[in-house]
Structure formats: C-alpha cells, structure tokens
Structure 1
Amino acid sequence: MPRILAIDYGIKRTGIAVTDEMQMIAFGLTTTPSDTVISFLKDYFTKEKVTLVLVGEPKQMDGTPSQSAEIINAFVALFHTTFPTIPVERVDERFTSKMAFQTMIDSGLTKKQRQNKALVDEIAATIMLQDYLHYKK
C-alpha cells in the first residue's frame, strides 16, 4: 500500500512526516530547507509510492487564515504544478508546533535539544499526520 506524506511548510524549514506502508503509523522523515523541498520530494517520490500528501493549513484561533497562509498557498500551487497526479489535502495545523514542543519536553530532551527548530517542524508534521490517521479511522 502506498504511503501518506505530511508537510509542515514554513518560510525557512519544512518538516516532513510519512506513514508506514500500511498507513497505520506516522513517523518523522526529515526537515529540509523550504527552498529545496520540491527537489527533495522529486527524489523521494522516485523511491517511494505516495498516495496522498497532507499540507498544513495555518489558521488563527477564529478560523481565519494566518499570516503565512499566502506563502503556503503558493507552495501548494507549485506542488500541484510539479506533481499533478498526487492529491493534496489541507489539514488544520493549529497547535502542532506547541504540541511538538511539549512532546519534546515529555520525551526528556534537554533544553539545548528542544531549541532544535528543525526537530520541532518534523515532529509537528508527524503530529499532523497521526491526527489525520486517527480521524480517518
């Protein structure tokens, strides 16, 4: 069965998570500079079959788009142009970064380790994907 991939796109860094082949478990794949994410995905898609890509949709508490929505919408448009056969589903990403940081604390990471913003982005993508899998069932 093909995998599902989640993208937590940011201005500088993009966290990426993926499911196992049975689409039961989400795990962090990597964090890549946002300006190289398309080339990373091109390479990844040649190695792995992906049936769906989730992209975080940033919203304010009242449900309106956040400041970064325009940048992420541009990324989604580029993704559609580059990978027209791979469907994209937008998912609410509110609180994923805070949840990722709390996960790092709960995991016993040191303060220095918790300052690794790339790890926060990767964990946020993983949380987004795991929530999707839970909701899908």
Structure 2
Amino acid sequence: MAKYGRLIGIDVGTKWIGLARTDLLKTVANPIGTYHDSEVMEALKKLVENEQVEKFVVGWPLTPEGDEGKAIKMVRSFLSRLEEHFPDMEVAKMDERYTSKEAVRAMVEAGVPKMKRRESDRINKAAAAIILQKYIEFMKSENVRVTDRYV
C-alpha cells in the first residue's frame, strides 16, 4: 500500500526562500510562496504541523561543470538551521542548476507580464517547484519510490 505524504521543495536565496509542495501521491509539485529568511522556519513549521510532510528537498547550487557553487555556504547555513528546527525530518539535496532560468521561461510561456516576472518572489517559488519536480522525476528514473526512506 502506498504511503501518502508530501515533499516540500526549498529554493534558498540570499533574502528570500521559495517553497513548493507535492500532492499527497508525490506526483506533481506546486509553488506555495516565497518567504523572507527570517520567516521561513515558521512557515515550514506550519506546513509540517498541518500537512503530511515526509521530506524536505533543498536546491543544491552547482556550477555548470557540476562543482559546488558560491552559494553552497549560504545553503549549508540554511541546512544547519533546518536541522535545528526539524531534527527528525529527512532532507534531500537536488541539483538546482538552471532552475531560476526555467522558472522565468515557464512564466513567459504562461503569459506573465515582464514586470511581474522580475519579482524575485515569483521566481523563488517557481524555482522551488521546479527543484521538487526534478526530484520526483529523478526518483522515478532511478526506479525508486519517493516514499522510500534514505539515511
């Protein structure tokens, strides 16, 4: 029997952090919102309390060559805070290369006006959804159920 629950995608920025979540079957990711760095832990706490959250999927900033990018230090700091607030929650890292560009391209295709596309809150939450969807697709391609647990 399938285990129902949600995955939460996180796109860490310098000031703003985008969040997304899956449906209970973990088949599709949808943006939730963008939160200031000082507010995101409270938003995550509410999600964990009110949704069936199984795992956080955090964007991992790699260079085009696949090396760790400059933003790794910032994401590692965020991961430390995440661990403090949610010590029992599983966290996965997902390559986030090009997700912001993909988010802008998706907004263009959806007809979002140029001025609105420049708003970082829209980009961050869309990038979080793309990171999460890539994770779902990766798990499927590896023939692994996203309900499986890893240590």
In structure 2, list runs of 5 or more residues that go unmatched.
Answer: 141-151
Match of 2:107 in 1: 104
Match of 2:25 among 22, 41, 54: 22
Structure 1 residues 67-119: Cα deviation after superposition (integer angstroms, max 9, x where no partner): 11101101101111210111000110000000000111111111111111100
TM-score (norm 1): 0.96
CA distance in 1, matches of 2:66, 2:134: 18
Match of 1:6 in 2: 9
Q: How many residues align?
A: 137
CA distance in 1, matches of 2:84, 2:120: 29
CA distance in 2, matches of 1:90, 1:110: 32
In structure 1, list runs of 5 or more residues that go unmatched.
Answer: none
| 1:118 matched to 2:113 | no
More helix by share: 1
Displaced runs of 4 or more, over 3 A: none
TM-score (norm 2): 0.87
Match of 1:78 in 2: 81
CA RMSD of aligned residues (A): 0.9
Q: Are the counterparts in 1 of residues 47 and 53 from structure 2 also a CA contact under 8 Å?
A: no
The percentage of aligned residue pairs carrying the same residue is 31
Match of 2:40 among 20, 37, 54: 37
**Paired residue type of 1:72:** V
SS of 1:35 mapped into structure 2: coil
| 1:131 matched to 2:134 | yes
Match of 1:92 in 2: 95
**Paired residue type of 1:130:** Q
CA distance in 1, matches of 2:93, 2:82: 13
